[in-house]
Structure 1
Amino acid sequence: MTKRAEIVLPDLENLQPFTKAQKVNEQVLGEIGQKNGFTTRHNVETKRGSGRRRRSLKTARLTLALEPEVRDSFWSLADELNEDGGDFLNRLIENYVNSNKIENT
């Protein structure tokens, strides 16, 4: 067997836990930030909506919070029409848009 390297540890008998960080007054901190030109604590996020409108060979994923009855109804109808979820959703959208065009004319 090979001999393992020895690990030398410092004496840990007198090790004490760190003290907690001091609490900072958020209002005072905000005032200091505003005086120095900071308007927000975080960067303002830019909107990137164009990615949703671009078709990308069905690689986009859509996550929705639905009630179980609505989800089951959606998949039951998709199964009856023998369509996958994306094609069925596209069909629903097209029907909705076409029905609104008829009503609005």
Structure 2
Amino acid sequence: MIWRRKERDVSPSYTRLTGEKEFKKVPKGYVPVVVGSDETGQEEERFLVHVKLLKEPCIAALLELAAEKFGYQHGGVLRVPCDAHSFRHTIDLISHCR
């Protein structure tokens, strides 16, 4: 299942991906992000987030949490310690305010 925002809304700011093949194809201007944690028993969800959203204060705060938890030298995809529902809600709010 691929989750995408409707085209008639504000331009898409993120995409939820489920397949490894889809996740390896990152379009220009997007950053792959894994949200959630196996520690909490929650399934991880994968997103492509537009780079413009990374400078938003609430996203910057999530990135700081990720740096505290995983460190700056963490290899691989960017991981954010947040539940997927809250992450999606935050991105939606930012997108609608623009």
Fold match by TM threshold 0.5: no
Structure label with greater radius of gyration: 1
Normalised by the size of structure 2, how large is the TM-score?
0.26
Q: Which has the higher contact order (CA 8 A, sep 6+)?
A: 2
